[in-house]
Structure 1
Amino acid sequence: MSKLALRDEILLQVEKPARYIGNEVNAVVKDKDTVSVRMAMCFPDIYEIGMSHLGIQILYDMLNSFEDVWCERVYSPWVDLDKIMREEHIPLFALESQEPVKDMDFLGITIQYEMCYTNILQILDLSQIPLLAKDRTLDHPIVIGGGPCTYNPEPIAEFFDMFYIGEGETMYRELIDLYKDSGKKGESRIEFLRRAAKLSGIYVPMFYAVDYKEDGTIFGMKPTEEGIPETVKKEIEMTVSDTYYPMKPVVPFIKATQDRVVLEIQRGCIRGCRFCQAGQLYRPVRERDVEVLKGYAVEMLKNTGHEEISLSSLSSSDYSKLPELIDFLIDECGENYINISLPSLRIDAFSLDVMSKVQDIRKSSLTFAPEAGSQRLRDVINKGLTEEVILKGAAMAFEGGWTRVKLYFMLGLPTETPEDIKGIADLSNKIAAIFFETVPKEERKNGKVQIVSSTSFFIPKPFTPFQWAKMCTKEEFIEKAYLTRSAIKEQLNQKSIKYNWHEADVSVMEGVFARGDRKIAAVIRRAYEKGCLFDSWSEHFHNDVWLETFEECGISVDFYTTRERSLDEVFPWDFIDCGVTKNFLKKEWDKAMEEIVSPNCRIQCLGCGAAVFGGGVCYEDKN
């Protein structure tokens, strides 16, 4: 039986075989004999989630625009195909060519969230690539990691040959040229990696050594050879209107998590929420030119057949040309019944006016993120939202016809008290009450409103003012969720409020990985060997196995989560320069403890360092 016939037979046995066959609209297929470098770009989760990721679409388009490069895609096989591939010894293959990933020159893995770490090992394992970088030879691809989790790559450092720190548009061409030159010279794998480590934004873990103190904290981290930089600076694309963008994004065969055209309107955020990692990492704010965006929108809708377009940004309301862009999209898309999606809007009159323009009379739910139940705690986290603004926004929403509001909060934030937690219930109740006060009885659809209040658990992340914060235990998180639920049940409008909360044990494990060091790699590897996979999926997360594995490896979970950290502690990620200075983050931490609010970047530049890092241009300077 041929390999192709075997694959057809196997596809009939698995759920959603369209995940694995390739040949989608706009997929790029090249003659492999005409290219010099082949790359598999991987999202270590299932196809539907990976196909929704804009970053891979951008890199896929950029890399395939190079005549000498063929970039393909690969995703994590679901558990059914995973089992068959292991039993049949079938190597993981790229979608476009259906050829083994192990035969590529590069395997690029985007790392968007910490709970995919065992899936990274699945990708390597099924590809028949040694899990440890030190065990690979010239016969194996160069394994390179990118994405937000690379801003603390240490827990997974030994699995990667290199990490690309920052935005992908700037350095890949130089890296590929270096690889080609190294190959022509007949250099060893180690020599290529040594040369790559000297490129801006490239971190090669094997050339760095970590020294520890007796208490388990880090004494320092230094290069092991001359010429290797002590600090790795993130790569940043300042001219976002002129860079690569996929005019012909690949259209999935099956419904993806976000089955729509994605239009990235800006990068960065002016807000400075102290818990938010993305708000710090992607500074400074860089807007795309509105005329460029108009052209992108028309072209991408034409090339995909999608019936929805989403405006992507950390804070869409802050894009200075949003009204002009929305009016254009309504005029351009309205007659074709194209839906316009606007995530990341703030709860204010401007945002609600925009939402009213793009949603028909059958209004979907509105989503607001107060993050904390009390004004005191919102000041601590620098949310920049007052209760007055929230309630006024809710009233305008109800007047505009919305009857379902989603509210997002966090539990376990620094300085949180039981009164702050009860404030979640109180605020939810006030918003429900406003509906009955605002909307006349005869105009109420079904006579009721639904407030869906959801809480996640606070996880301190690197490069945020809260990177020094103590994290709660699982038991403390659950106690806080029970207190929230009890407080909601005591509210006058409790029947209009639905409460959801995130899994506490998953949050604790994410907290370990977020601030972990190189010692964590042994735990991740052992847990994978014991069957841990798809840990971000609650039905596949096995907390008991993880805790057992930490104990076997002699590593304390509490050391990485609940331990108090001094302001002078050396962190595993301190060798990375993300643009925002550690001194600025310390000042913001101190202001949080004093409940002092910092203005946003549009109002006042606080000297975080990002403007200088990006060439002296920040949001304030541009406007």
Structure 2
Amino acid sequence: MRKPALNDEILLTIEKPARYIGNEINSVMKDPAKVDIRFAMCFPDVYEIGMSHLGIQILYDMFNRRDDVWCERVFSPWTDLDQIMREKKIPLFALESQEPLRKFDFLGITLQYEMCYTNILQILELSEIPLLSRDRTEEDPIVIGGGPCTYNPEPIAEFFDFFYIGEGETQYDAIFELYKENRKNGKSRRDFLMKVCQVPGIYVPSFYDTVYHEDGTIQSFTPNIPEAPKCIEKQVVMSLTDAPYPTAPVVPFIKVTQDRVVLEIQRGCIRGCRFCQAGMLYRPLREKDVEVLKDYAEKMLKNTGHEEISLSSLSSSDYSALKEIVTFLVDEFHGKGVNISLPSLRIDAFALDVMSKVQDIKKSSLTFAPEAGSQRMRDVINKGLTEDMILHGAGMAFQGGWNKVKLYFMLGLPGETEEDIKEIAVLSDKIARHYYELIPKEARNGKVQITSSTSFFIPKPFTPFQWAPMNTREDFQNKAHLLNDTFKEQLNRKSLKYNWHEADLSELEGVFARGDRKCAKVLLNAYKKGCLFDSWSEFFQYQKWLEAFREEGVSIDFYNTRERSEDEVFPWDFIDIGVTKSFLRREWQNAKTESVTPNCREKCSGCGASNFKGGVCFETKN
């Protein structure tokens, strides 16, 4: 019989107590005396965000299939409970057993976004686990980092015992077996780390030393023990069809951000957008068999009671069996009160036909992501989208009955001019004009609504733009104001709406995206000043972050606004993602000359991902 970690008095005083009580449908309970390994799976944000993440559900299901492992979940306590736990000295606990995390063998933290980094420190501190890995003892859990931010783990390297680089389905069984053997033989924590660093994809930061030039750039990055490899190779699941997948995912008691069944149809992308980190990290594109997906859909809906099913991928339109799986879902489930969500679709006749069947046209809007307003800039970023294609897609949508369109763009892209910025408003106006020219007055469902939103471009590791300088905060704001003024000048301005946000958060994200180990002291300083939940605008404290940078003598401009030389050693260069640095460098030059690179199905560009011996690289070409 488990004992709740929080008493009724506390649960009645905090917001959404169901975040902390566990026992949800399909959650896994085991007898701790009958397992060898206890693993706490952590998403360092609030429950509603973490429970919407597919990766957590996949690993939770995979680990718990083992009789000798009990995987439980933990999320960042919201600010109200955080305060109570500190005041009453309640240690952070896992949802399933309600037991303190410090009792566990492993604490695995998924790193989806740089602005969750202060929450990592919150998790560790509330768990009574020393923040710095070097201060941990044999009694403390092994702290693991995984997820996309591990492709530059250096800003947070001091807080983790090791990082798992790549897709989680491949190496955890080997890690668990090593851990059991190490404990059976009475070996130490360091002995285990020396063994695990030899597992492909595992990076133990304490086994590497960084030497810097006088200008602050990296001179060398080398292993300090013979067991540690010089290069860490990302781990890839080549057969998604055979990979474990949760057919009975945990069903939350409360509404979460993604409250639906999620079908992962493929990983990777063929497109090669030069700003997109995910498109490079997850190469090569690998598809899941459509018959397996049909089986998963039926089982997951039956096992969860969800009323919506969504397809998950970076670009659903590139899934070769898209028509078959969508037709199946519509025919099988739409008449049973199940909504079908189809994100990441290119707008074509098939997509519109399907969406007209599964969406309420009067309420829904269609989303396009041109990313840049001018054709020149779309060529710079290798978007593979012309103005004619955008207008044609919008026109088909208007003729299909839609009159609401959302457009997504970026400001601050490399080589951007004022004219390029203004073209965002001009393109938005052209789309509105196209509606009025195409749809007769008597057939219109009111005015067309074009909502254009901009985000600020942040250069990321392992993209062709990793060499690019980032705009300053002031530059970003000036560009947003220029664009806002340009929207007001458009002929159809009453049909146009423009959204943007402040640049403070983007500036910080830029630092930690391309930062090195010197950034850790800034993070620690900011956390001690009270910075937490930085990705939530109501909690973000920009001035405290500036104080932390100033007090630690770390320059924001060094990481953000300088252009890197082509031969500079980057903090993440010790990781091999398959895509080569020479390919990224070539694409950086192509961006400067506005040259377009074809997608992977049109022509192989020699990025290096074919070394994985599978996926789109080895498809039979028609």
TM range (shorter): over 0.9
Contact 1:248-1:304 within 8 A present in 2 as well: yes
- Can you list the C-alpha shifts for 1:516-544, whole angstroms capped at 9, x where unaligned? 00000000011001100000001111110
Task: Quote the sequence identity (%).
Answer: 70
Contact residue 209 and residue 223 of structure 1 kept, 8 A: yes
Cα 1:500/1:617, change in 2 over 3 Å: closer
Q: CA deviation at 1:439?
A: 1.8
Q: Match of 1:402?
A: 402
Unpaired runs of at least 5, structure 1:
none
Cα deviation for residue 344 of structure 1 reads 1.0
Deviation at 1:564, TM superposition (A): 1.6
Aligned length: 620
CA distance in 1, matches of 2:615, 2:548: 47
| Pairwise CA distance, 1:219 | 0.6
Q: Which residue of 2 aligns with 1:303?
A: 303
1:618 is aligned to 2:611: no
- Does the residue aligned with 1:392 lie in a helix, a strand or coil? helix
**CA–CA separation in structure 1 for the residues paired with 2:511 and 2:343:** 29
Q: Distance in 2 between matches of 1:425 and 1:326?
A: 34
Structural RMSD (CA): 1.2
Query: Partner residue of 2:73?
Result: 73
Letter of the 1:265 counterpart: I
Query: Post-superposition shift, 1:352?
Result: 2.6
SS of match in other structure, 1:463: coil
Counterpart position of 2:252: 252
Residues 346-381 of structure 1 deviation map (CA, whole Å, 9 limit, x = unaligned): 233343333234324445111110000000000000
The DSSP-based 3-state class of the residue aligned with 1:238 is coil
Does the 8 A contact of 1:605 with 1:620 survive in 2?
no
Q: Is the 8 A contact 2:5 2:98 kept in 1?
A: no
- Matched with 2:189 is 189
Q: Does 1:516 align with 2:515?
A: yes
* Paired residues of 1:323 and 1:354 also in contact (CA < 8 A): no
Asked if the contact 2:3/2:98 (under 8 Å) is kept, the reply is no
Deviation by residue 1:410-435 (Cα, 9 ceiling, x = unmatched): 00000000000000000000111111
Which aligned segments of 4 or more residues in structure 1 are displaced greater than 4 angstroms?
A: 2-6
TM-score, L = length of structure 1: 0.98
Partners of 1:460 and 1:347 lie apart in 2 by 28
**SS of equivalent to 1:508:** helix
2:42/2:75 contact within 8 Å kept: yes
Structure 2 contact 40–101 (Cα < 8 Å) conserved: yes
Q: Match of 1:321?
A: 321
Distance (whole Å) between structure 1 residues aligned to residue 518 and residue 318 of structure 2: 41
Secondary structure of 1:219's aligned partner: strand
CA drift at 1:130: 0.3
For structure 2, list consecutive stretches of 5 or more residues without a partner in the other structure: none
Q: CA deviation at 1:618?
A: 3.2
Aligned to 1:114: 114
Mapped partners of 1:617, 1:565: distance in 2: 33
- Give CA-to-partner distance per residue, 1:12-71, whole Å, 9 cap, x none: 110000100101010011111111000000000000000000000000000000110000
Distance in 1 of aligned mates of 2:375 and 2:610: 30
**In 2: Cα distance, 1:39 partner to 1:577 partner:** 27
How far apart are the structure 1 equivalents of 2:25 and 2:391?
45
Supply the AA of the counterpart residue of 2:598: P
Could you tell me how far apart the structure 1 residues matched to 2:4 and 2:589 are? Answer: 62
Cα distance in structure 2, aligned partners of 1:122 and 1:225? 31
Aligned to 2:457: 458
Structure 2 CA distance for aligned equivalents of residues 7 and 143 of structure 1: 28
Q: Distance in 1 between matches of 2:616 and 2:264?
A: 19
Shift of 1:164: 0.3
Relative to structure 1, is the Cα distance of residues 382 and 350 closer, same or farther in structure 2, using a 3 angstrom cutoff?
farther
Answering whether residue 201 of structure 2 is matched by residue 201 of structure 1, we say yes
In structure 1, the residue corresponding to 2:463 is in which secondary structure?
A: coil
Shift of the alpha carbon at 1:617? 4.8
Name 1:491's counterpart in structure 2.
490
Q: Aligned partners of 1:62 and 1:3: how far apart in 2? A: 26
Give me the whole-angstrom Cα distance separating, in 2, the residues matched to 1:433 and 1:583.
44
User: 8 Å contact 1:453–1:500 — kept in the other structure?
Assistant: yes
Following superposition, the deviation at residue 622 of structure 1 comes to 4.3
Q: Partners of 1:621 and 1:104 in 2: how far apart? A: 44
- Matches of 2:524 and 2:619, distance apart in 1: 47
SS class of match (1:369) = strand
Between the aligned partners of 1:351 and 1:371, the Cα distance in structure 2 is: 21
Tell me which residue corresponds to 1:178. 178
* Mapped partners of 1:304, 1:322: distance in 2: 24
Distance (whole Å) between structure 1 residues aligned to residue 361 and residue 558 of structure 2: 52
Counterpart-to-counterpart distance in 1, 2:424 and 2:515: 31
2:104 is matched with: 104
CA distance in 2, matches of 1:616, 1:236: 10
Q: Does 1:268 align with 2:268?
A: yes
Give the aligned residue type for 1:384: G
